[in-house]
């Protein structure tokens, strides 16, 4: 895969009729994690740790930081947070594919300097099974 523009990594939220891109983001991050289950015992070969294949909890997290633009997507994100709703999101990774599934906003912060723009940070945690579609 060749180098890609960071601005092409998109976070989209389902708005009832389709997906709306979360506006104003300058940085975005998608992380996958899998909890391991340690099954090491007294007779493990050489006392090396052993892990149980296919066990443990998988999760994904999304984070972003950007400019407050007062766009329709900003209102949708704010309302989703205050409702504590789990919504379907789609993350587009250029030349890789898309990840789609339920996420809940776990953090929403707004900040501003007296001589600068209003910015926000958002964090989401997966809330169910995710699907991956390759490009």
Above 80 in pLDDT, residue 70? no
Residue range 66-95: mean pLDDT, rounded: 90
Higher-confidence position of 24 and 48: 48
Residue range 78-104: mean pLDDT, rounded: 95
Q: pLDDT band for 73, please (50, 70, 90 cuts).
A: confident
Burial of 41 (0-12, 13-18, 19+ CB in 10 A): exposed
Residue 41 lies in a domain: no
Residue 73 lies in a domain: yes
Residues 6 or more apart whose Cβ sits within 8 Å of residue 7: none
Residue 13 lies in a domain: yes
Nearest to 7 by CA among 84, 55, 23: 23
Residue range 92-116: mean pLDDT, rounded: 93
Residue 51 lies in a domain: no
Helix H or strand E segment including 87: strand 86-93
Residues 6 or more apart whose Cβ sits within 8 Å of residue 40: 47, 48, 49, 50
Q: Which domain holds residue 74?
A: 6-29+65-134
Structural domain count of the chain: 1
Residue 119 lies in a domain: yes
Nearest to 106 by CA among 87, 90, 129, 132: 87
Residue 34 lies in a domain: no
Query: Residue 69 CB: number of other CB atoms within 10 A?
Result: 14
Residue 89 lies in a domain: yes
């Amino acid at each position: 895969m060749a180098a890609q523009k960071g601005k092409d990594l998109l976070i989209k939220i389902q708005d009832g009729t389709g997906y709306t891109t979360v506006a104003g983001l300058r940085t975005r991050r998608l992380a996958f994690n899998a909890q391991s289950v340690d099954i090491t015992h007294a007779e493990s070969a050489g006392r090396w740790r052993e892990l149980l294949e296919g066990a443990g909890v998988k999760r994904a997290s999304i984070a972003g930081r950007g400019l407050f633009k007062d766009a329709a997507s900003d209102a949708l994100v704010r309302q989703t947070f205050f409702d504590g709703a789990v919504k379907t999101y789609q993350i587009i990774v250029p030349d890789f594919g898309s990840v789609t599934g339920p996420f809940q906003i776990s953090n929403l912060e707004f900040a501003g300097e007296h001589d600068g723009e209003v910015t926000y940070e958002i964090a989401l945690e997966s809330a169910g099974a995710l699907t991956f579609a390759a490009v």
